[in-house]
Chain A
Amino acid sequence: MQQQQPTAVPLIETPAPASGDSVPVVPLRHPVRNAIAVVIVILAASAAWNVATNQRYHWDVVVSFLFSPQILTGAALTLMLTVVSMTVGIGLGTVLAIMRLSTNPILHTLSRAYIWFFRGTPLLVQLIFWYNIAALYPVIALGLPFGGPSLVIGSANVLISPLGAALLGLALNEAAYMAEIIRSGINSVDKGQYDAARALGMNRAKLMTRVVLPQAMRVVLPPTGNQVISMLKGTSLVSVLAISDLLYSAQIIYSNNYQTIPLLIVASLWYLLMTTVLSYFQTKLERRYGRGFDTATRRVLRPKRRKA
């Protein structure tokens, strides 16, 4: 909000540019903008006051369940699901992106088919599918193709637990989206970088890991931050697999005490806290990988480093 400026003397002490003599500069006033801002602040304050004083929100219940062990375990599981499926998703997505950019037509087509399939079907359907995988393949075994001898590993129902199904569903789906994000990042790197790296004798692996991927990170990070946050919230879909994540834990509690709204508020507060923390790390990472690119930002945000 803009502060009021009662004095006629300008706060900005830059001299008038053209003449060079000290004519006072009167900054442009925004009366309408300021009036609208005041109205909005009043409306927002009254809404906040209403939320705080409305008895039917049951803030006492919110507070009493905010740190209940069941909710905390649920939040931890949600965080675990997010971290594991994002890690697998980013790893597999990088491989898929490199395959997609490969000159080998088989690798290229495989990657395209994977992305087409996993982006083209709903995540919820994929999760339920993995949950019911035992209906298709009751026994999981390692073996030679076309009905050759095989080594039985175990029952699908035992190997792929509900949690396993959730992780598979989330990670495989995420990989398809991350593949496209990473591909766009790789494509954003100047072709001259490839020439320079090759001329210095780098093989393909060195070229990717030392030169191309670190530069692609700058382009990859903002959409990946989006993905992490939607993944964190998307994990709430696994409540259909009866996995006690944050949302499902809240649901179990309110199905007993009928305090639906307060427990949804509890869950939302934890989701908000976790996305806030994750966004903070995103900003840090973006600054780390923006080194050497965003000179202006670096100068403003990290003046100490500039004094080197």
Chain B
Amino acid sequence: MSTVMVEAQGVRKNYGAIEILKGIDMRIEQGTVTCLIGPSGSGKTTFLRCINHLEKINAGRLYVDQQLVGYTERNGKLYEKKESQTAKSRLTAGMVFQRFNLFPHMTVMENVIEAPVHVLGRPKKDVIAEAQVLLDRVGLGDRGHSYPQDLSGGQQQRIAIARALAMKPKLMLFDEPTSALDPENVGEVLEVMKDLAAEGMTMVVVTHELAFAKQVADQVVFMDLGVVVETGPPSEVLDAPQHERTKAFLSKVLT
């Protein structure tokens, strides 16, 4: 439990004059579940996207699996990584999005095997067998031939999780995975995520599901206006918050 999977040191991100992240420090240990909570505009989604190189950081250092994100450090200078190198480093983490982002022109099975076959270049036969296991695991083993459009939001999100897992990532990033779902579909997605956590997957979850955070998270990080306000186990941050801003947010969300 001592290996660090994600380490952020003073990470800053701005779009022009607007500063989204104002110096984020964070440590995420391997095999733990970290929930990022906070009001909208707090920068939690942006930070999650930085971990997967979907956003460039403007200052600070961000290490994922001991690798510096976006840059190579040589002779005291930071060299921006090439597109192809960045694409490779993205393989460390799997990502699940708020709006699923399944490929609508492919069947469920084609969605899951797309990257293992066309990015990793693995033989299609092996990948299909593995994908079937993953689909069974998320409870959709019989929907391989369906198109995403024909599935409910909850089913689509479970497919998205299977698609990310097919790349055998060391880390899973979830960006508000249940926010776009109908209420009756939230539970089935959270169930899959709980199973994943129980298997020891390192997970970073941006979420508003405080009950899930309480039950599953090892670490809860409360962010507001681009800074980390409070970090700790759920029993501290959620049940006995120290900061006024955390208290104010929780009182709004829990009512």
> Footprint of B on A, CB under 8 Å?
190, 192-193, 195-204, 206, 210-211, 214-215, 218, 289, 291-293, 295, 308
Residue of B97, B105, B118 touching A293 (CB-CB under 8 A): B105
Docked-complex contact B88 and A292, CB < 8 angstroms: no
Docked-complex contact B84 and A199, CB < 8 angstroms: no
Chain B contacts for A198, CB-based, 8 A: 53-54, 87, 90
B24-48 contacts to A, CB under 8 A, are none
Min Cβ gap A84→B in Å is 29
Chain A facing B: main interface SS: helix
Q: A195-B97, A196-B97, A210-B118 are in contact. Are A201 and B91 (CB under 8 A)?
A: yes
Give Cα A210–Cα B163 distance, bound, in whole angstroms.
15
Docked-complex contact A291 and B105, CB < 8 angstroms: yes
Residue of A201, A218, A295 touching B167 (CB-CB under 8 A): A201
> Footprint of A on B, CB under 8 Å?
49, 52-54, 83-84, 87-88, 90-91, 93-95, 97, 99, 101-107, 114-115, 118-120, 145, 147-150, 160, 163-164, 167
Docked-complex contact A292 and B54, CB < 8 angstroms: no
Docked-complex contact A199 and B87, CB < 8 angstroms: no
Chain A contacts for B97, CB-based, 8 A: 192, 195-196, 199
Most buried by B among A190, A196, A206, A291: A196
Q: A201-B115, A202-B119 are in contact. Are A196 and B83 (CB under 8 A)?
A: no
Chain A contacts for B101, CB-based, 8 A: 190, 192-193, 195-196
Chain A contacts for B88, CB-based, 8 A: 201
Min Cβ gap B166→A in Å is 9
Give Cα A218–Cα B103 distance, bound, in whole angstroms.
14
Give Cα A215–Cα B94 distance, bound, in whole angstroms.
23
Chain B contacts for A196, CB-based, 8 A: 95, 97, 101-103, 160
Chain A contacts for B90, CB-based, 8 A: 198-201
A-B residue pairs, 9 tightest by C-beta: A196-B101, A200-B115, A292-B147, A199-B95, A192-B101, A201-B91, A292-B104, A203-B87, A201-B119
Give Cα A203–Cα B91 distance, bound, in whole angstroms.
11
Docked-complex contact B105 and A200, CB < 8 angstroms: no
Chain B contacts for A211, CB-based, 8 A: 103
Residue of B with least CB distance to A294 = B149
Chain B contacts for A192, CB-based, 8 A: 97, 99, 101
Residue of B49, B84, B164 touching A203 (CB-CB under 8 A): B84
Give Cα A199–Cα B114 distance, bound, in whole angstroms.
12
Residue of B with least CB distance to A288 = B105
